[in-house]
Every structure is written in structure tokens, then in C-alpha cells.
Structure 1
Amino acid sequence: MTDWLDAATDRRWDGLVLDNYRAVLPLPRMRRLGFVPVYVRPPYTQQLGPFGQLLPGDVRALLSAVPFRPQIALPLRAGVPTAEIPKRYRSRVRTNFELDLSRKWPNIAAGFPRKLQAFLRKSSDDCLDTMDPATFVALSEADLAGKPGMQPSQFAALHRLILTAQNAGWGNCHQLREDGELLAAGFFPHFGGRTINLATVTTERGKKRRGTSRLLALVMQRHAGEPGAVFDFEGSEIPGVKAFFAKFGGVDRGYRLVEAGPRGWL
């Protein structure tokens, strides 16, 4: 967890600790407008804890101890009760789809839309290839640069995260090609039985050939049948993305976001 936060924040994070590290709440030190100090979710992270062995009242104690910042926006681990949220915070539940991969692959694929099932049968020769991190980050930047909320620092963070994951054995970038032409690529870290759909890129041909769906299916299939395996779609808030993820048959395992300070900065 600390390696991931180091990479995502470039080592700029604090933490609140209970009882000799029985529980930890990370506090990423980010900045708005280049100089306003805030505690908010860094790029390419989702739930920020608290991590550890939690007892009743621990979450409330940790959140109450968060120092003042002009803005605080912390996505918490799933299952935090509303009663544990101090009154200083607004809170809401964010959508996040997860798919149980512990079943056999035919049973998982049977939950996909029929048209997708048929397309996957026609694409039975598909295979996953690895992709160099720098190449994947360059593709991501070309696809997303200039879009609202995207900054060069975010692509640098993505590159650090991929290298960290590779060094720790947490996964690689993968690509799907058809007749030698790239359809889609993605970064899918895997740890603790959980595979995370962290970042994907689809080419124009891939959009016409269901490239992303085929890529995700291949990644899911690699871990199908493993006890406790889960595919975490991550980032299911945007309506179009939410609808796309929902078609795979996942279940919404929402998590709570707590906020303090002005609205509209996220």
C-alpha cells in the first residue's frame, strides 16, 4: 500500500495512525491551483482506507483527527457505516462495479449480453500481449490530454505506478491486436485476488471491433476460477462508463466519499 501511495503522490502523503499501526488513514498532500494545500484522492487511486484491523469508532476517530485543509475529499474503504462519519463532512456513496471471478469462465461469460457473447466466440483466437509502460502512457496521453481534469502530472503518476507494479509483481500493461493492428490496451494491477481496471485506451478500429470489451474479457478469463478472485472495474461514476461496466454482470459495491470545504473542485 505504501509503495502504491508513494508512486501515486510522488511520496507526498501523510498518515494518521492508531495503536502502533493497527489502523492507518493515508492523507495525500495534493495542491489546487498549484499552491492551495488539500487532502484529496491522487490520480489512479480509489479507496484510501482506513486500512488495518478496524474496531467500532476507529473511522470516526481518524476522520475527526484530519487536520484542516481548504478542501478534503477522501474516498473510504467499502462498508464504512454512516454513523462513523463526523458532522464536519458531507458524504455520498460512489458507484463501483465488481465482478466475482471465482466461478468458472463459461458461467461468468454467460452473464454478458448475448451480442457480446457471440462476438467473443467469433474472437476466440484473441490473446493478450504485454505492452511497454512508456508506450502505454504515451497512448494514454495522446487519448486523454486536454480533456477536463487531465494534467501532465497525472500521466507521470501513471508511469510511476506501472513501474512500481511491475517491480512488485503486481501486473503489467496488456494489449489486444487484430491482424497486427492495435485495438485496445490497458493497465490491470493484480493483488490480493483483486484485478483492477485502472486505465485503458481504445483505438478507432478498436471502437468498431469491441476492442475494450474483448480486452477486459481476456483479462478476466486469466483469473477466472481462482478462489476469491474479483474484477474491480474502478471508476463507474460517469453514466456512459457505468452502463458499459454494468453489462458485464458486476455488482455495485459502492464506497463512501467524505468531503469538507468548497464544492465543485473534484
Structure 2
Amino acid sequence: MLRLLRFQDLDLARWAACLAASPGAPPYAQAWWLAATAGRWDAVVELGPAGEYYSLLPLPTKWRPWGRVAYQPLFTQQLGLVLTAASQQRTLGAYLLIVKKYCARFYQQLPPGALPALPLGFSVAERLTYHLSLDPSAEALRQGYAADYRRRLRRQAGLAPPLQAAAGTDLEELIALFLTYRGPASVGLHSRHYAPLRRLLAAAQSRGLAELRQVRHPATDELLAGALFIHHAGGLIYLFAAASAAGRTAGAPLLLLDEMIGRHAGQPGRVLDFEGGSLPAIGRFFANFGARPVRYPALTLTSTPWFITWMRP
């Protein structure tokens, strides 16, 4: 039986059990991740005979004058339908019919995969990320880098002293670096939008799932580049990163990613998700590490508010 459950009616222990029973469930659907990025959320849930959750579709929502809006929280690449072996309702369209009755507007990015026929009113767009398998050894993975990247790494290793990647401790410094050199207007985000990232780091650190890495200038201690990685059952997420102009010139982002890849290589079944690549220059940067493009769908539903329909001549 499918039911729409409001946040106050969700059983988070059953939520966690459902995700644990769903191999390949996106880490972004974990309750602790949603609590950090959305705060509250609703869901379409398939209930078992004892109230257990056989499947679920997370629905972070906000109320707007035209009705309830389901949205994709910041720092949450994908959500989508989470199925278990016990699920009897395995077609996304059945869940979306309930969404259509509940939400005036809906936007959600789903994990990669073929989509079934969708209810009337839903449209699909394609988004792009890059994945690098961590199955091979570090040496084998580096052989897959672009030749220019290999040359730059050899040249960097010959410097005295060379740049080095190390553990970082200060997310605020990394955010400040991003805002300074990327610019909030260029991505539509401002300082206040990074509160979910701070909560997410704290939640991941409390579970031993976060790695904050940085590259500093050996003489001045200036932060040249940094990145936040999140571990999950399927691998690593390259969640947030920034570099200064001097850092990019020195190849600090290249060094930082190479160090991370080298330390986590040789892990069968695990993948580094670069979480982006739709912009051609960024896609080329990721592809030069041997990463492959992975397309995933984004669903949109836009309903016309009743009062606008009523006002039409």
C-alpha cells in the first residue's frame, strides 16, 4: 500500500531499515543527509503489513503561494525511488501519481537508469556527472590520466619542496576561498546557502564519513585548493571544492584529486563520483582523470495554479 507520509509521521528507524535493505540506494536519501540539507521532508512510502517500509520516495517540500513545491536540496545530487526486495510497487509512475496530487510543482534528480512511462505533466531533462572506478591499483589509474596530467604530476614531484595534499580542518576557509575565486553570483549562491553544507559536514564527521583535504603553499601557508569528500557504501563523493587563481596555476586541484585517488585505489566496487561535468571545461577536467560520463534524469512537474486558470478570459 502506497501512502503519503508527512515528516512528523515518518518512522526514521524504518526509513533506515528500508535503505539498508536496498542495495545501491543513493546516500543522499539517508535521513541524516536529508536532515542536514532539507531539515524536514515528506515521502511516498510503501507500507508492509506490520508498518515496515518496503519502498520510499523522499519528498523535500516547501510551501509557496501557488502550493506545495517538491525541490532538490542543495548539496544533494540525486534522490529518487528506493526499492527493496519486498516491494510490490516497483513502478515510479505509481508514486508520481500521488506526488501530482500533493505538489503543485515538483523537481527531483534521480539516479542513473532507464525511466518507465511517466504520468501526464512530467517532463525529463538530462544531467551529467563523471564516475571513476576505484577497482584498479593507483598505478593503473594514473596510467589512465591524460598525458599532460601525468607530466604535470611528475614536474610537481620534482619541485623543492613539492606541493602536498594534507588533511584540512577548516570548512569556513574553504567556503571563503570558493566565494572569493568562484564568486557567489556565478552559481547563484550566497554565504547563507552554505549552512546546509556546514550541517552536512558535521553529520558526516560524526559518522566518520567525511574527508576534508587541502593543498597549501609550502612557504606562505596560503590555501591553494581544498575539497570535501563524503564516503558511502558505494565509494566517494567529491562534494565541494575550491581553488585560488594561484592554486589553479600551480596545479593544486590536480594534485589534490590525484592524492585522493591514490589513497583509495584498489577497492573493488567503489566509485569516485565527481558530482558534476555539465559545463564542458569541468567535464574535460574530470575526464582527464579517466572518469567516464554518466547521465542521469531530472524530473519536473509544473502545474498551473487554480487561481491563474480561473482568471483566464
Question: Structure 1 length as normaliser, TM-score?
Answer: 0.88
Instruction: Say whether the 8 Å CA contact 1:223–1:229 is kept in structure 2.
Output: no
Which residue does 2:24 correspond to in 1? none
- 2:175 is equivalent to residue 137 of structure 1: yes
Paired position in structure 1 for 2:119: 86
- Measure how far apart 1:41 and its partner are: 0.8
Aligned residue number for residue 224 of structure 2:
183
Larger radius of gyration: 2
Tell me, yes or no, if the aligned pair for 2:68 and 2:104 is still in contact at 8 Å.
yes
State the 4+ residue runs in structure 1 displaced beyond 6 angstroms: none
Aligned to 1:13: 41
- Superposed, 1:24-35 pairs within 5 Å as 24-30=56-62
Structure 2 unpaired stretches of 5+: 1-29, 304-313
2:191 corresponds to which residue? 152
CA distance in 2, matches of 1:60, 1:69: 15
8 Å CA contact retained: 2:149, 2:288: no
Aligned to 1:205: 246
**Which range moved further: 244-253 or 155-164?**
244-253
- Identify which of 166, 173, 192 aligns with 2:205: 166
Tell me whether 1:123 sits opposite 2:151 in the alignment.
Answer: no
Is residue 290 of structure 2 the alignment partner of residue 249 of structure 1? yes
Cα distance in 2 for partners of 1:89, 1:241 equals 29
1:72-83 matched pairs, under 5 angstroms: 72-79=106-113, 81-83=114-116
Give 1:31 deviation, angstroms.
6.3
- 1:106 CA drift (Å): 1.1
In 2, the alpha carbon distance for the partners of 1:151 and 1:14 equals 27
Q: Is the 8 A contact 1:98 1:250 kept in 2?
A: yes
Corresponding residue for residue 135 of structure 2: 102
Cα offset for 1:37? 4.1
Distance (whole Å) between structure 2 residues aligned to residue 130 and residue 206 of structure 1: 16
Compute the displacement of 1:137 (Å).
Answer: 3.0
**What's the offset of the Cα at 1:121?**
2.1
- Alpha-carbon distance in structure 2 between the residues aligned to 1:12 and 1:99: 32
Matched AA of 1:77? P
2:32 corresponds to 1:3: yes
Map 1:222-237; keep pairs closer than 5 Å.
222-237=263-278
State whether residues 29 and 37 of structure 1, in contact with CA within 8 Å, keep that contact through their aligned partners in structure 2.
Answer: yes
The amino acid that maps onto 2:31 is T
After the TM superposition, which of the residue ranges 86-95 and 145-154 deviates more from structure 2? 145-154
Give the CA deviation at 1:183. 1.6
2:75 alignment partner, SS class: coil
| SS state at 1:82 partner | coil
How high is the sequence identity, in percent, across the aligned residues? 29
What is the CA RMSD across the aligned residues, in angstroms?
2.2
**Judging changes above 3 Å, is the alpha-carbon distance between structure 1 residues 178 and 122 closer, same or farther for their aligned structure 2 residues?**
farther
Higher relative contact order (CA 8 A, sep 6+): 1
Q: CA deviation at 1:87?
A: 2.8
- How much does 1:55 deviate? 6.1
**Aligned equivalents of 1:35, 1:71: Cα separation in 2:** 9
Match of 1:41 in 2: 72
**TM-score, structure 2 length as denominator?**
0.76
**Amino acid paired to 1:46:** Q
Q: Does the aligned pair in 2 maintain the 1:73–1:257 contact within 8 Å?
A: yes
Once the two structures are TM-superposed, the CA of residue 152 in structure 1 deviates from its matched residue by: 3.4
Structure 1 partner of 2:93: 60
Contact 2:134 2:272 in 1 (8 A): yes
CA distance in 2, matches of 1:123, 1:129: 19
Aligned-partner Cα distance in 2 for 1:154–1:207: 25
